[in-house]
């Protein structure tokens, strides 16, 4: 073995599990391509106000009407003569924010609830998880609709309502991980050094559950985006004059026979984004749990 190879061995062995997972993720071409697409879509959407030549998404030209794609309007215009490309980019900001912030709400609630239940154990764990079972038996979209009807239809309420019904599976995942970790040596050492329950849970146990949590969080984003699209079909999503991909698809579906581009372009952007989140989630799962990847192959 060459000297360079010998020098590389200690460095490879000293890599942290996260660095090794990142290397495995980089070797997954589909996951990398999906991540790059999501980054490009997010950058284009959030930088839309800075793009030169992009018209305002609210600028109407009734004389233009629903015009087909052209040099002036690459993706065409809607029934009110508004540029579809501008409305898609601005709508992408809303759809991505709904997915990401809804995921963060579910992450905060689910991780905290599941970690406390798993660490407490006994009757506390049993009662807390029976509460999760009861909530699972309820139609969660019906709960979202009730929250939006009785409180408000603002964007903030939409974020909170969608995130507040997505935390149940997250809580179960974290609780299962904590149950398997709470008797480990590092937890016993933390207790012996005088760490309280809160310190043990949130400083020692929760960081060791981040692998499965990150994977499920990635898969939660498209689920929340799909729910927002469904609510938009019911008129409970983003309210006019604002738009999201869900509202654009809903509006375009009503006239798809006459103006197919009004549903084709938003639907394509929405579908590609959902696919990429799922590809990225699968890649993260394989990278963080290589044994499962080998088992499938």
Domain CATH code at residue 269: 1.10.3720.10
Q: Is the pLDDT of residue 194 over 60?
A: yes
The Cα–Cα gap between 150 and 144 comes to 10
How many residues does this entry show for the chain?
297
The answer to whether residue 240 sits within a structural domain is yes
Q: Give one DSSP letter per residue of 196-208, joined into a string.
A: -HHHIIIIIIGGG
Q: Is the pLDDT of residue 162 over 50?
A: yes
Please give the C-alpha separations between residue 88 and each of 76, 102, 243, in angstroms, as whole numbers.
Answer: 11, 20, 8
The Cα–Cα gap between 158 and 144 comes to 8
Tokens of 75: 């993706």
Q: Is the pLDDT of residue 4 over 60?
A: no
What integer pLDDT is reported at residue 37 of this predicted model?
Answer: 93
Q: Model pTM?
A: 0.78
Residue matched to tokens 């698809």 = 249
The answer to whether residue 55 sits within a structural domain is no
The answer to whether residue 259 sits within a structural domain is yes
Domain count, the chain: 1
- In whole numbers, what is the pLDDT of the chain averaged over residues? 81
The answer to whether residue 4 sits within a structural domain is no
CA Rg value for the chain = 23
The answer to whether residue 6 sits within a structural domain is no
For 245, residues 6+ apart whose C-beta sits below 8 A from its C-beta are 88, 91, 92, 94, 95, 225, 229, 266, 269, 270, 273
Least confident range of 38-47, 86-95, 167-176, 188-197:
188-197
The answer to whether residue 210 sits within a structural domain is yes
Enclosing domain of residue 124: 22-46+79-296
Q: Is the pLDDT of residue 40 over 90?
A: yes
The answer to whether residue 88 sits within a structural domain is yes
The pLDDT > 90 percentage for the chain reads: 6
Q: Which residue has the higher pLDDT, 55 or 13?
A: 55
Q: Which of 295, 195, 285, 276 is nearest to 32 (CA)?
A: 276
The pLDDT > 70 percentage for the chain reads: 90
The answer to whether residue 280 sits within a structural domain is yes
């Amino acid at each position: 073995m060459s000297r360079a190879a010998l020098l590389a061995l200690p460095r490879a062995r000293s890599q942290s599990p996260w660095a090794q997972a990142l290397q495995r993720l980089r070797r997954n071409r589909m996951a990398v391509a999906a991540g790059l697409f999501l980054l490009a879509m997010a950058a284009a959407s959030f930088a839309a106000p800075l793009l030169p030549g992009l018209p305002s998404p609210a600028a109407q030209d009734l004389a233009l009407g629903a015009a087909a794609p052209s040099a002036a309007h690459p993706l065409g215009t809607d029934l009110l003569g508004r540029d579809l490309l501008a409305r898609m980019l601005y709508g992408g900001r809303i759809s991505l924010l709904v997915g990401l912030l809804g995921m963060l709400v579910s992450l905060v609630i689910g991780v905290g609830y599941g970690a406390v239940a798993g660490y407490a154990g006994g009757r506390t764990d049993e009662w807390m998880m029976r509460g999760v079972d009861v909530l699972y038996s309820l139609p969660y979209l019906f709960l979202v609709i009730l929250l939006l009807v009785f409180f408000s239809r603002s964007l903030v309420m939409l974020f909170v309502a969608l995130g507040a019904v997505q935390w149940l599976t997250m809580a179960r995942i974290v609780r299962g991980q904590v149950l398997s970790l709470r008797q480990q040596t590092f937890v016993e050492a933390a207790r012996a050094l005088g760490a309280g329950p809160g310190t043990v849970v949130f400083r020692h146990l929760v960081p060791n559950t981040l692998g499965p949590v990150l994977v499920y969080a990635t898969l939660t984003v498209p689920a929340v985006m799909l729910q927002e699209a469904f609510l938009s079909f019911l008129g409970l999503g983003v309210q006019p004059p604002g738009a999201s991909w869900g509202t654009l698809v809903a509006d375009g579906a009503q006239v798809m026979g006459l103006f197919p581009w009004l549903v084709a372009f938003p639907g394509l952007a929405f579908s590609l984004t959902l696919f990429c989140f799922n590809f990225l989630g699968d890649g993260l799962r394989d990278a963080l749990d290589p044994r499962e990847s080998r088992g499938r192959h």
